Amino acid sequence: MVPQRRGSRRRRRQSHLTQQCTRVVCLLILGKTASQPAEETVAASLPLSQPHLRRRHDNGNTVELVPNATVRLPLHAVAGTHHVTAWMGEPPQAQTLIVDTGSRLTATACEPCSQCGTTHAHPFPHLDPQRSSTLRYTQCGSCLLSGIQECAAEQKCGINQRYTEGSSWTAVEVSDTFVLGGPEISSLEQYVSFTIIFAFGCQQKVRGLFRTQYANGILGLERSDLSLIKRLWKENVIPRESFSLCMTPFEGYIGLGGPLRDKHTESMKYTPFTSTQSWYAVHVVRVFVGDECLTSNDQHDTVVEHALVEAFAEGKGTILDSGTTDTYLPKAVAGRMREIWARLSNTPFQPSSTYAYTYDEFRSLPIVTFELANNVTLQALPKNFMEDLPEPLRPWTGRRKLMNRLYADEVQGAVVGLNTMVGYDLLFDVQGNRFGVAPALCGIANSTPAATH
């Protein structure tokens, strides 16, 4: 049975959680990318936070160039969600984790867990704390992770996490060796110089779609003093508090410490994050459906147009969430979206329900372009947001039922999900409070030898 798409479950946190203190993490360095200078287009208004980094002058303004990633790790996708393999404990136990820029906490299902679903859905068995000689339970009074609700049994730190579509999990906080790598790793001994300790949630009960999902757990990549990226930077494992995601619909890489420039087909452009909170939000200037502006109206009413643009900034704003498979536009633009969609393609805009398309009708579906501050653009392509296409994509005869995974029902703001993020190297430059975008060839088959070292 094909696992359910994560985007349809809207797995985002409901509550705002706070951090309590810091802790170190560990990482296995699989390889270092070759340093390849590349010209980048940057804006003078962006933050400059490390004077020792390489800089250049652009139109008379001094700007900062982010160094290349020093570490890259392979990702694999199942049902539209991208995963990385982590090895925890000694001896190491493999766990597959969702790569999620929309979550703060890292957690995985642990034994004994009578309510964590059946293990046949997961690539690896649940983590067994009793098998690890290095795992330690954090005791009440010393809890590190956000979301601590109460002391669990035996004075362990309890964590509760809920998501908007109804799924949830409860866990206890543990610390153990934590190594990102590939499924072939069998020992940590040769990587001992990179092994430090990471605090994460050991799930004891899950509800909803967590029970049937492919992944064992989740790797939260939101900004936090306890995030993987922060701790790697604090421990001088990576040169900068940043990471990049370079993904195709089926695979890709996570780069730690900077972008993956050898993947780029065009120079990287930057836009500031609009918030310093844990989530990654960007400023949407305009949105185009095909060549028509979604955030304007036919009467050119400036009040209406302003309201359409402002809809993308409401609430948390427009957030970047790799853990949500699908893309969600504001409900305020739904009417205009239906009008433009029908005018350009002669088909109805009806997300989350099937429609039988001819191949020519599919070819007529519009590209949706997000124009962000500083002339940065992201495009949602029909081949990525329409579900049930033939693989590889090829013409078909007659009609084929497809499902649209581009929505216009977000009550506040918008969510740029994974189906808009593929085909780019996306830099989450936490240290510079900015987002970098470069069209890229992200397939593992396109890798240079440095990517496999």
321 is catalytic: yes
Q: Closest Cα to residue 308, out of 328, 342, 284?
A: 284
100 is catalytic: yes
The pair phi, psi for residue 211, each rounded to 5°, is: -70, -25
Give CA separation, 47 vs 68, 225, 374, in Å. Answer: 18, 20, 13
> 380 is written with which tokens?
């949602």
Identify whether the C-beta of residue 224 lies closer than 8 Å to the C-beta of residue 198. no
Q: Which of 176, 262, 321, 326 is catalytic?
A: 321
Identify whether the C-beta of residue 3 lies closer than 8 Å to the C-beta of residue 165. no
The Cα angle at residue 279 between residues 210 and 151, in degrees rounded to 5: 55
Identify whether the C-beta of residue 271 lies closer than 8 Å to the C-beta of residue 373. yes
Q: Which residues contact 46 (CB under 8 A, 6 or more apart)?
A: 63, 64, 270, 272, 374, 432, 434
Q: Is 451 left (phi over 0), alpha (psi -120 to 50) or beta?
A: alpha
Q: Which residues contact 279 (CB under 8 A, 6 or more apart)?
A: 102, 222, 223, 316, 319
The Cα angle at residue 424 between residues 102 and 58, in degrees rounded to 5: 105
Q: Which residues contact 389 (CB under 8 A, 6 or more apart)?
A: 362, 383, 400, 402
Q: How far apart are CA 418 and CA 6, in angstroms?
A: 10
Q: Convert 305-372 into a string of H (helix), E (strand) and C (coil).
A: HHHHHHHHHCCCCEEECCCCCCEEEEHHHHHHHHHHHHHHHCCCCCCCCEEEECHHHHHHCCCEEEEE
Q: Closest Cα to residue 382, out of 399, 398, 359?
A: 359
What is the set of active-site residues? 100, 321
